[in-house]
Amino acid sequence: MSACSAVDNASSDESDAGGGDTTEPITIGVSLPLTGDFSEPGKGVQRGYEAWAKIVNDSGGLLGRQVELKVLDDQSNADRVVADYESLIAQDEVDLVFGPFSTRLVVPSARVAKEYGMLFVEPAGAAAEVFEQGFDNLFYAAPAVANDHYNYLAEHILAMPEGQRPKTVAYAAMDDPFAQGTAYGLKEKLEAGGIRTVADEVYPPNTTDFSSIAAKIADAKADMLVGGSQYQDAVNLIVALQQLDYQPKMAAFSTAPTNPEFSKAIGEKTEGILSPTGYTTKADYPSNVEFVEKYTAQFGNPPSEDEANAYTTGQVVAAAVEAVGCAEQGDCQQRLIDWLRDNTVETVVGPLSWDEVGRPEAAHLIQQYVDGEIQIVLPEDQKEADFLFPKPAW
């Protein structure tokens, strides 16, 4: 069928500059939370996808065809995301789909993709539950799932001499599968290593006042604080803790510290704060060097993690398409899925391969604010600065 329309197009007014076997573009359907609770990361993912499409198109396209993104806004709403993917696949008949942002939107949309037998590579569903649904079409395009984000930190702490390492930990996590997954992944490992949990607070995503949570944590006087957080909650919690003059020896938050706005919000009091990250602009993988340079040229500032995960999604799908030699609905999708199951893809976050349910088999780096700058401190062989312990007062 696509061959027929290709002939139609060649004889019509298409003036594609791609040369050779120019045909109609490969369309890729995406639904993203461009408004609502996840609009901030949603827009980041959109920029990542756009950067990928531009770089691919500038270098001659995919299978010699230009790629075209069709992006819908699901308003951070799980019902909308389902309707969006239904219409992208069934009505618009897109050739490929990319995943949305956030576990809560990834799970329902992956279900739609599975019904239609579509390959589903996604940039943002890191929570354990994504991989417990029996999706055989899903691949998470990042180095590690949520529960493993803090792995290097857990190893580091448990390797510290008994007398030095933190003895008590307070956990605070947003009621969100991803955010909780990161904190509880670490909690499990530290508890198994004999480090006591003295506070464990869970708060809903719409929490605006963190002073009471902070009061409980400060009262517990934990040596260490672990946040399973998105952006604004981590910032609000940190300031609330500062107001109560709680001074942990170690403080780690997922997501927020890697956001460029973070140090603007917290001021000079970021020193020593830790964060796991799946991406750094400084990684010297060849495609990353190109990505950072071209992304910066296109958008005026370097990419952050959301953009990189989206770009990685594009790279993963592109690798499968180039290897299998097709990109359309139907049998081709299963061949793309099968190929990804058995192969490793070079991406901006390093080489990625997946287990049978789509979990990536790598790990997150641990970054820390050292001398006012966020730098990699773990693992040892990739560090840019020494691990700072205990954390200076904030």
Q: Please check whether residue 277 is in contact with residue 350, taking contact to mean a CB–CB distance below 8 angstroms.
A: no
Closer residue to other proteins in complex, CB, 261/355: 261
Closer residue to other proteins in complex, CB, 34/126: 34
Over the window 179 to 218, marking each residue x when it contacts other proteins by CB under 8 A and - when it does not, the resulting string is ----------------------xxxx-xxxx-xxx-xx-x
| DSSP calls for 269-314 | TTTT-EEEES--TT---HHHHHHHHHHHHHHSS---HHHHHHHHHH
Three-class secondary structure of residue 240 per DSSP: helix
Three-class secondary structure of residue 352 per DSSP: strand
Cβ neighbors of 321 (< 8 A, separation 6 or more) are 26, 62, 63, 96, 327, 336
Interface with other proteins in residues 226-265 (CB under 8 A): 231-232, 235-236, 239-240, 242-245, 261, 264-265
Closer residue to other proteins in complex, CB, 109/232: 232
Among 7, 8, 136, 267, binds other proteins (CB under 8 A): 267
Interface with other proteins in residues 38-77 (CB under 8 A): 39-40, 43
Closer residue to other proteins in complex, CB, 138/217: 217
As measured in angstroms, the least distance from the Cβ of 319 to other proteins is 31
As measured in angstroms, the least distance from the Cβ of 365 to other proteins is 24
Query: Which amino acid would we find at residue 78?
Result: A
Query: Which amino acid would we find at residue 257?
Result: P
Among 2, 9, 16, 35, binds other proteins (CB under 8 A): 35
Closer residue to other proteins in complex, CB, 158/265: 265
Q: Please check whether residue 278 is in contact with residue 367, taking contact to mean a CB–CB distance below 8 angstroms.
A: no
As measured in angstroms, the least distance from the Cβ of 262 to other proteins is 10
Closer residue to other proteins in complex, CB, 111/216: 216
Q: Which of 188, 264, 270 is nearest to 228 (CA)?
A: 188
**Rg of the chain's alpha carbons, rounded to an integer?**
22
By CB under 8 A, the count of residues binding other proteins is: 39
Closer residue to other proteins in complex, CB, 264/381: 264
Over the window 335 to 374, marking each residue x when it contacts other proteins by CB under 8 A and - when it does not, the resulting string is ----------------------------------------
Q: Please check whether residue 151 is in contact with residue 181, taking contact to mean a CB–CB distance below 8 angstroms.
A: no
- 256-291 burial, b at 16+ Cβ within 10 Å, e below that, comes to bbbbeebbebbeeebbbbbbbbbbbbebeeebbeeb
Closer residue to other proteins in complex, CB, 120/203: 203
With the C-alpha atoms ordered 257, 260, 263, 264, is the resulting torsion angle positive or negative?
negative
Q: Which residues bind other proteins (CB under 8 A)?
A: 35-37, 39-40, 43, 175, 201-204, 206-209, 211-213, 215-216, 218-219, 231-232, 235-236, 239-240, 242-245, 261, 264-267, 269, 394
